[in-house]
Chains A and B, each alone.
Chain A
Amino acid sequence: MLDDTNAKSMTIIVTKGTLDWAYPPFILATTAAAMGIETTMFFTFYGLQLLKKDLDTKINPLGNAAMEMPMGGGHMAMPNIVAAMPGMTALTTKMMKNMLKKKGVASIEELRELALEAEVKMIACQMTMDLFEYKREDMIDGPELGGAASWVDVATKSDINLYI
């Protein structure tokens, strides 16, 4: 049985690449690494976006009824018909990034850099690279390429395995 101190390794499967979904895996990975836990991130499908050199994460509230922004003491949600209009992704992304900055939340760029610095191991899914025709040179240097077996191999020896 695990006690308080002996969880020593963690893997996270990262499947989503929008601005909001980019946070949980990077926050957990950097924090775990800071707490002495050997951490591996496996980036697949849209998660691969987060390994691009030119990181450009975006967000759009379309179809996300739970997304609301603090505004004038209350909260405001955006109707789908508004969210679907041209330019709304850029606008919402800008609003979210401003809010994150104002509240002292690290940017995804910063968290990714801290993860690499903390020697978080990153694996980029080879199949998705081929599927979406991503080039290795468009991705940052740290990650190695691998498939499902690479993750399973690490996961079977890990105390914690997450899918995000």
Chain B
Amino acid sequence: MVDQVLDAKGLNCPLPILRAKKALKDVPSGGTLEILATDPGSVKDFEAFCRSTGNEMLSSAQDGDVYKFVIRHTG
């Protein structure tokens, strides 16, 4: 189970990243955040976000038009 879920469906760049950053504040260190998005650019962007903030991308998957990312709050 993830600690929090962020629904960023229908939002375009850079809102999914900005909302995720905000949501991570409420996730305890070591906890996980699941993000749902429909912006195709978010796949590369969340990879880049994790790389530069030191958070860990646990999974990145696609289900139809929806992208699902699970990030561990380690940054």
Contact = CB atoms under 8 A, between A and B. Distances in A.
B10 A5 contact: no
Given A31-B18, A36-B75, A114-B18, A5 B49 contact: no
A34 interface: yes
Interface residues of A, number: 15
Contact of A31 (B14, B39, B51, B75): B14
Contacts of B39: 104
A35 B18 contact: no
Interface in A11-66: 27, 30-31, 34-36
B59 interface: no
A148 interface: no
Contacts of A91: none
Nearest to A7: B52
Contact of B12 (A4, A30, A36, A103): A103
A160 interface: no
Interface of B: 10-15, 17-18, 20-21, 38-39, 49, 51-54, 75
A162 interface: no
Contacts of B13: 27, 105
Contacts of A30: 14, 18
A140 interface: no
B15 A106 contact: yes
B17 A5 contact: no
Interface of A: 4-5, 7, 27, 30-31, 34-36, 103-106, 114, 118
A35 B10 contact: no
Nearest to A114: B18
B52 A36 contact: yes
A104 B11 contact: yes
A4 B49 CA distance: 11
A36 B75 CA distance: 10
A106 B11 CA distance: 8
